[in-house]
Amino acid sequence: MKPESSTSSDISFDDFQSQIIKDYQIAVTSRECSLLGRREVLSGKAKFGIFGDGKELPQLAMARAFEDGDFRSGYYRDQTFMMALGYLSPKEFFHGLYATTDIQKEPMSAGRQMGGHFTTHSLDENGEWKDLTKQKNSSADISCTAGQMPRLLGLAQASKIYRNVKDIDQTNFSNNGNEVAWGTIGNASTSEGHFFETINAAGVLQVPLIMCIWDDAYGISVPAEFHTTKGDISEILKGLQRDDKNEGYEILKVKGWDYTALIHAFENASEIARESHVPVLIHVTELTQPQGHSTSGSHERYKSEERLIWERENDCNKKFRAWILENNICTEQDLKSLEREIKQTVRAAKKEAWIEFLKPHLNEKNQLVQLLENAAEKSANQNFIAKIKNDLIAIEEPLKKDLASKSRKALRYLLGETTPEKLQLQQWVENFLDSAQPKYSSHLYSEQNTNVLGVEANPPEYTEDSEQVDGRIILRDNFDKLFEKYPKALVFGEDTGNIGDVNQGLEGLQKKYGPYRVADTGIRETTIIGQGIGLALRGLRPIAEIQYLDYIMYALQTLSDDLATLMYRTVGKQKAPLIVRTRGHRLEGIWHSGSQMGGLVHLLRGMYILVPRNMTQAAGFYNTLMKSDEPALVIESLNGYRLKEKKPSNLGEFRVPVGKVETLKEGTDITLLSYGSTLRIVEKVAKELLEVGIDAEVIDAQSLLPFDVSHDVVKSLKKTNRLLIIDEDVPGGCSAYLLQEILEKQGGYNFLDSAPQTLTAKAHRPAYASDGDYFSKPNAEDIFEKVYAIMNETDPISFPKLI
């Protein structure tokens, strides 16, 4: 099913004819899959369907121009393209619909994503990079409208980096930057901000990006005039067209049913982008959507009869067929014979996929039925268990959930019984859940030996004459060492390059390492993260800088839906070891004092979230992350850059372990847990508490995701029996998360003599200026009085009421 690498030029008629027939075969196969796929959803075998019917021809043209090493960043209608590359067979298509959890049978996501979400495998079975230059690549799709756009920018920029940065090892990743990043999107989704931000950034950066817009004049039920000014996206983007004086885009417009025009347009776009690193926009118009947007509705409800007639007449497959006959490439009889054969093949693939999907379930069902029968015979609740067994027998096509639910309910009727049959059923349930759950929950983080938790700690070293310097100097000099050590390391963001970031943590590094490795960007947080994802997918080691933590909200969708889920939704077949660097916590005002950690720890599962208390700890985290291959967010303390710290002698080498807390002060009366800038206040208060006879233990969380993998906090509670978490997030934010980790996961509740408590910021955003900070976030007096009140409740004689 894989196409030949030759193009429509400079080949014989026989070869040309063979290519045409092969393209038609793929187009009809894809359409038949769409038609049968919809029926499978409506029959209940599949949960949801969103298909590529009506978009077959331009995707065939795109596949022709797509070369080894290229990357796709697309959306959920590109099934014909994936079939043309040989990466999606009809049987795999149906396994995707059924959510088969076998990665060999459903290679896109092993059932973790609905059908229409495509990926290729960048990593081998050991989690090592494959040679991406010898395969055609697709970054893993996400459903979110235009969510594929930000990473597209980075995939294209990687080619520019590989072509222009000397002394960088391109092995497995690039052939002198000749690779093109291909984006696909529906016309309505071009209304999204992600699209415009990416298009603008690609024009500024001049990267080899080809943006393909499949335009069927609708976005779900809403016609184009409600989505786009003038109803035409290429019309309003004309100002981006390059000319003799200005760089910009090459903009091409082509009808989606015109086979020869499509072939030439895509070949032309490929040549321009590949050789000159000029972005190209291809607007493919007059496409149709024969089955409507998805299986959740019918397009007859919102399209006029005139539009429906037009769509039937201008269907790209129908037009392609007519063109083949008009040019005597094939006879009517031969086409009909081919079409009959394709229908039989697709139907057989559908049947075979369903049988393969059901087979392990049926085997498990047979075992479970026998176990239930055995248990019922020996139980006082025989009738109840027999009913569960009979209900299970009646399910002819069981799912895993049916087996799990029936077996677990049966155990309720065996309470208090100790028969061997009950023990056998218990063992079956335990084994079944142990086997089934990882199929849905594995690979949230790396499961290879490159996992960041496996990086060995290495403490900072000091000499007798180690100097006290501003914290930013430690960061700057440590980054310098990292850039020397890792040629693929690069950093970019707003004010990152020329001035070396707003706090001079990168001062002078652009001059030393050049503007490709230490780069300024525009004010566009979403695509800064997208750059990082795409660059990391292509083997580079990017550090994407978001100027302040408050502004990470602009990029949160991309971080949460794309980066944090990548390892999970590809079942470990793709990775993007992006480090996101930012600064936050206590400063001044609503949008310059970010501490929205509760939201981040819940939305960014799949990333590591690190909150160093000073710049030495931050540098140590960067050193650790560079020895790993996983994504992380590092939040430096915004008010710590000018504070003095002792400068380590082993810059670039010392490593702070991820997932470990650090006890900064031993104590016996109460455990105080905090992190970041607030921790400095807690340390100060701990000294003041000694004056009234309270010996507090102070622990720095350091790492929020994951938190305290060694369970050191509960070890502290065994000694102090009291807990206070101090956090500058809102009530119920990060402090609630930490409380759950300690009380539930670590079993800390068992060692408490007082109620565990939290001290947080107020529910509102922090007010401006020093007074605003004092009355919005926990201050020294708040902490002192909260600790004292806990001790007062425990021992009111020794600690009489303060207020």
C-alpha 540/C-alpha 489 separation (Å) is 7
Complete DSSP assignment for 691-709: TTT--EEEEE--EEES--T
* Conformation bin of residue 389: beta by default, left when phi > 0, alpha when psi is -120 to 50: alpha
C-alpha 135/C-alpha 118 separation (Å) is 15
Starting at the earlier edge strand, list the strands of the sheet with 662-665.
662-665, 696-700, 670-674, 723-726, 757-759
Tokens of 264: 């030439």
C-alpha 672/C-alpha 664 separation (Å) is 10
Strands 696-700 and 662-665: antiparallel
C-alpha 420/C-alpha 399 separation (Å) is 27
Can you tell me whether residue 390 is helix, strand or coil? helix
The H-or-E segment that residue 341 falls in is helix 332-377
C-alpha 624/C-alpha 618 separation (Å) is 10
C-alpha 145/C-alpha 188 separation (Å) is 9
Residue type, 112: R
Sequence-distant contacts of 160-167: CB under 8 A, at least 24 apart: 160/205, 160/206, 160/207, 160/208, 160/277, 160/516, 161/490, 161/516, 161/535, 161/540, 163/277, 164/516, 165/487, 165/514, 165/516, 165/517, 167/487
CA 23 to chain centre: 33
C-alpha 623/C-alpha 541 separation (Å) is 12
Tell me phi and psi for residue 609, to 5 degrees.
-120, 120
CA 287 to chain centre: 30
Within 13 A of 91's CA, how many CA atoms are on the CB side?
Answer: 13
3-state helix/strand/coil string of 425-454:
HHHHHHHHHHHHCHHHHCCCCCCCCCCHHH
Tokens of 441: 């929950």
The H-or-E segment that residue 609 falls in is strand 608-610
The distance between the two most distant Cα atoms of the chain, rounded to a whole number of Å, is 103
Residues catalogued as catalytic:
592
Q: Are 443 and 449 in contact (CB under 8 A)?
A: no
Q: Which residues are CB-neighbours of 464 under 8 A, at least 6 positions away?
A: none
Can you tell me whether residue 181 is helix, strand or coil? strand
Show the beta-strand stretches assigned E in 273-396: 280-285
C-alpha 203/C-alpha 200 separation (Å) is 5
Strands 280-285 and 222-223: unpaired
**Alpha-carbon distance values, 185 to 73, 233, 295, 554 (Å):** 9, 12, 19, 21
Q: Are 599 and 733 in contact (CB under 8 A)?
A: yes
Q: Angle CA(205)–CA(175)–CA(245) in degrees, nearest 5? A: 30
Which 8-state DSSP code applies to residue 241? B
Can you tell me whether residue 218 is helix, strand or coil? strand
Which residues, listed in sequence order, are joined to residue 214 by a DSSP beta bridge?
A: 186, 284
C-alpha 645/C-alpha 163 separation (Å) is 40
Q: Are 92 and 106 in contact (CB under 8 A)?
A: yes
